[in-house]
Amino acid sequence: MVSRKKKKTIKQTGKKKGTGRLPFVKVSVFLLLIIFVAFALYVKHLDRVIRQKFDGKRWSLPAVVYARPLELYPGLPLSAEKLEKELQLAGYRREDVAADPGGYDRHGDIVHLVTRDFYFADGLQKSVKLTVQFGGDSIESIAGSDSQQRLSLARLDPARIGSFHPRHHEDRIVLTRDDLPDLLVKTLLAVEDQDFYSHSGLSFRGIARALLANIRAGETVQGGSTLSQQLVKNFFLSNRRTLQRKFNEAIMTLLLELHYSKDEILTAYANEVFLGQDGARAVHGFGLAGQFYFRRDLEDLAAAQIALLVGMVKGPSYYNPLKYPERCLKRRQLVLDMMFSRAVIDEEVYQQARTASIETKGGTKGGFNRFPAFLDLVRRQLRLDYQEEDLTTDGLKILTTLDPQVQWQVEKNLAETISALEKRTGVSGIEGAVIVSSREGGEILAVAGGRKPLQTGFNRAIDARRSIGSLIKPAVYLTALVNGFTLASPVQDTSVNIDDGKGGTWRPKNFDGKEHGRVPLYEALAHSYNQATVKIGMDVGLGKVQQTVSDLGVDKEFPPYPSFLLGAAAMVPLEVSQMFQTLAAGGFYVPQRVIGSVLSADNKVLQRFGLSVEQRFKPESIYLLNTALQLAVKEGTGKSLSRYIPFSHKVAGKTGTSNDLRDSWFAGFSGDKLSVVWLGRDDNKPTGLTGASGALAVWGKIMQSLHAEPLDLLEPPGIEWAWVDPEILEMSGPFHHKKVKLPFIAGSIPKQIVETPLPVPENKKTDPGILDRIRNWFR
């Protein structure tokens, strides 16, 4: 009986134990199910991250900005030294014998070069080999290097001068799989991932092999991560070393391999890999690295150069050939040994490569974002038509009007002249701004936003709004000429009292403190007489003068105070440049521009910024005014310009000085170029400089260095000439010692001055330029 009870008890106890295990199993299964679902959802999330980024726009491509293409022709005033400097800016490399695109050699006065393929707005221009012969400071002849056929014109591919990056400042040249040289691919796989085409993303054999190789070498010579893992790490993940990141890396690598082919992954890796730093710009991808370190396209790299780039993958900063050439050389040798041992290269190539020096070209920083003031103006103009995202992600190609030869002279002469002026005056902190444009076309060729050309930030050429002083006077006198005055009209340069509109009286004075009495109108402008100018302006009407300023291209409202007539109005140098551009163009409003055309990333033309012309003034009135501006340089406030530009060049210009010598201005034009110069201090304190003693000197040195062409104004029909004695404003013979020959609109010569009009001057211009031909359309 006892034994049966025990058995029964045992059975009951066993039943209870089995019943207790069941809930635990269920909970465990439920938890595992939750973990599996969570894991599946997380994997799906990672999968979505990969596909969204990899299927969409993989990289934000910055807009790339180019200078104008250099056009070579016999007779061009360009020395071999200046050509070489521009070739360096454009990323050309000097070689013993130029053979490949982007190379040049120079032997005395002969330069051989091979241009690179480039897409212009008018299509693809293929690479050509050129021989340029110089004679002194100009080009003597141009010929094809192979055919020796003489050429009348050759256009070089332009220098890349900057780009507009997104916030992370990455840059790259995106390549396709066909763009990747076979030698690069084999070397990369030999060093970084030998089993790339056979593994599924993770390679435990590769990890073991790398570990063994590192132990044998006594240092890290190989990595254990596959190319797919490295791409995931660089493309999708941060640099934080955590278990979660390693977990994500493994899962995302498998997913990447699941969705995309090996060639797609390899190409993405070649475009994404980080290979150095160029200031704030991060150099990504082998394509850009080849340009940055060697100034060569990837397909033109030698075995030693490819070995160097592949070796840098391990540590771009540590193995930077520009900073640590010895480390880089040692690393390159390890890569070359691996290339040879794995039959990537033969012994002959190996021996040549191992003895090759590290011939980096110092990076391409010489031309990259080298001209920040000009690039600032380009960006502002682009923002009128494009969103900021378009400029930093779509890979636009911006072909601009920048002339590096002009820009260099502007920067040099501005900085040197300011330093000399500071020593002479004892005033420090003087700053400046310069804008140079083509006289007829309005293309802005150079911009300086300060005396330090590489300094970014405040761009004085665009943002320094300062009183322009007597630069307003051409607008005053043009208004008078349009309203019946002549260059010989007598005006009174005597004291004047005007209600200032604030309950007080305004009494303007001349700069020399004197009154000059009765003078002809042209003399009042040439010598910048304030009192005569105010009387003329009040006579024709302040509103009409302000309308003239608007018609000249400065479309903004100014307070209607009489002080406006003496330049109390504030403008930026760019606005002054546009105002004088209309004068230089013969009364035609030609909007100044810095962009020629915009191309898409696939080289399709998106927009052209062509020549736009609108006639704003009659050519006869502009001709009279410009003649007076020539006299201002010949005998007026600008006569000291003869130290730089001969009188025979007949340039036209005007000085400007604000109250207390705070601002020094000079604006003028030659036969081919217009330039505006401003000098002043950022704190608006006096500089001790007038327009003639400050800005004029900068203007003269710049235009002298640019070999400014003589200004021969095209005389419009209906102009008559007469000799005038400026002191008595009566007829004068050509031999009178105080004579001056002045143009008049037909029928406007006063009877007391002359009885018979004089013949047209012998030096009348007969060869019309672009705007001269356009002017004929309006007749």
Please state, in angstroms and rounded to a whole number, the distance separating the CA atoms of residues 590 and 593: 9
Catalytic residue among 86, 163, 170, 192: 192
SS3 618: coil
What are 209's two structure tokens? Answer: 């092999």
- Which is higher by pLDDT, 257 or 473? 473
What are 144's two structure tokens? Answer: 């094809």
CA contacts within 13 A on the Cβ side of 547: 11
Averaged over 190-208, what is the pLDDT? 78
Q: What is the pLDDT of residue 755?
A: 41
- pLDDT tier, 204 (very low <50, low <70, confident <90, very high otherwise): low
- pLDDT tier, 774 (very low <50, low <70, confident <90, very high otherwise): low
Q: What is the DSSP letter of 178?
A: G
Averaged over 368-385, what is the pLDDT? 89
- Is residue 389 pLDDT above 70, yes or no? yes
Please state, in angstroms and rounded to a whole number, the distance separating the CA atoms of residues 288 and 62: 13
- Is residue 481 pLDDT above 60, yes or no? yes
Averaged over 79-99, what is the pLDDT? 93
Averaged over 346-350, what is the pLDDT? 93
- pLDDT tier, 432 (very low <50, low <70, confident <90, very high otherwise): very high
Q: Can 192 be counted among the known catalytic residues?
A: yes
- Is residue 57 pLDDT above 80, yes or no? no
- Is residue 708 pLDDT above 70, yes or no? yes
CB-based contact 115:128 (threshold 8 Å): yes
Q: What is the pLDDT of residue 255?
A: 79
- Is residue 243 pLDDT above 80, yes or no? no
Angle between helices 473-482 and 542-551 (to 10 degrees): 110
Q: What is the pLDDT of residue 560?
A: 86
Q: What is the pLDDT of residue 218?
A: 58
Q: What is the pLDDT of residue 333?
A: 94
Q: What is the pLDDT of residue 247?
A: 73
- Is residue 742 pLDDT above 60, yes or no? yes
Q: What is the pLDDT of residue 756?
A: 41
Q: Can 709 be counted among the known catalytic residues?
A: no
Provide the CATH number for the domain formed by 170-355 in this structure: 1.10.3810.10
- Is residue 588 pLDDT above 70, yes or no? yes
- Is residue 16 pLDDT above 60, yes or no? no
Q: What is the DSSP letter of 426?
A: -
Please state, in angstroms and rounded to a whole number, the distance separating the CA atoms of residues 719 and 743: 6
Q: What is the pLDDT of residue 733?
A: 47
Q: What is the pLDDT of residue 572?
A: 97
Query: Which of 33-47, 103-117, 492-506 comes out lowest in average pLDDT?
Result: 33-47
Determine the Cα angle at 31 with ends 27 and 33, to 5°.
Answer: 115
Q: What is the dihedral of CA 238, 240, 244, 248, to 10 degrees?
A: 30
Residues 25-45: tens digit of each pLDDT? 777 777 788 877 777 777 777
Q: What is the pLDDT of residue 651?
A: 98
Q: Smallest Cα–Cα separation from 625: which of 664, 653, 657?
A: 653
Averaged over 422-437, what is the pLDDT? 96
Query: Which of 95-109, 173-187, 233-247, 601-615 comes out lowest in average pLDDT?
Result: 233-247
- Computed over every residue of the chain, the mean pLDDT equals 86
Residues 514-549: tens digit of each pLDDT? 999 999 999 999 999 999 999 999 999 999 999 999
Averaged over 764-769, what is the pLDDT? 50
Q: What is the pLDDT of residue 241?
A: 62
Residues 277-320: tens digit of each pLDDT? 887 788 999 999 998 898 888 988 999 999 999 999 999 999 99
Q: What is the pLDDT of residue 214?
A: 55
Tell me the CA distances in angstroms from 765 to 17, 684, 711, 761, 762, one per residue in order.
117, 43, 9, 9, 9
Residues 611-667: tens digit of each pLDDT? 889 999 999 999 999 999 999 999 999 999 999 999 999 999 999 999 999 999 999
Catalytic residue among 470, 528, 675, 732: 470
* Identity of the residue numbered 179: D
SS3 80: helix
Query: Which of 352-356, 475-479, 661-665, 672-676 comes out lowest in average pLDDT?
Result: 352-356
Query: Which of 215-224, 597-606, 758-767 comes out lowest in average pLDDT?
Result: 758-767
Q: What is the pLDDT of residue 48?
A: 79
Q: Could you say which of 3.40.710.10, 3.40.190.10, 3.40.50.1380, 3.40.30.10 is the CATH number of the domain covering 412-705?
A: 3.40.710.10
Averaged over 505-512, what is the pLDDT? 92
- pLDDT tier, 764 (very low <50, low <70, confident <90, very high otherwise): very low
Q: What is the pLDDT of residue 480?
A: 98
Q: What is the pLDDT of residue 182?
A: 94
Decide the pairing of beta strands 129-135 and 138-144. antiparallel
- pLDDT tier, 776 (very low <50, low <70, confident <90, very high otherwise): low
SS3 218: coil
Determine the Cα angle at 581 with ends 577 and 644, to 5°.
Answer: 75
- pLDDT tier, 589 (very low <50, low <70, confident <90, very high otherwise): very high
Q: What is the pLDDT of residue 778?
A: 46
Q: Could you say which of 3.40.50.2300, 2.170.120.30, 3.20.20.70, 3.30.2060.10 is the CATH number of the domain covering 71-156?
A: 3.30.2060.10
Q: What is the DSSP letter of 361?
A: -
Q: What is the dihedral of CA 615, 620, 621, 622, to 10 degrees?
A: 60
Averaged over 447-465, what is the pLDDT? 93
Q: What are the sequence ranges of the domains in the chain?
A: 71-156, 170-355, 412-705
Averaged over 120-136, what is the pLDDT? 95
Q: What is the pLDDT of residue 24?
A: 74
Strand partners of residue 525: none
Q: What is the pLDDT of residue 229?
A: 84
Q: What is the pLDDT of residue 735?
A: 42
- Is residue 366 pLDDT above 70, yes or no? no
CB-based contact 417:561 (threshold 8 Å): no
CB-based contact 373:449 (threshold 8 Å): yes
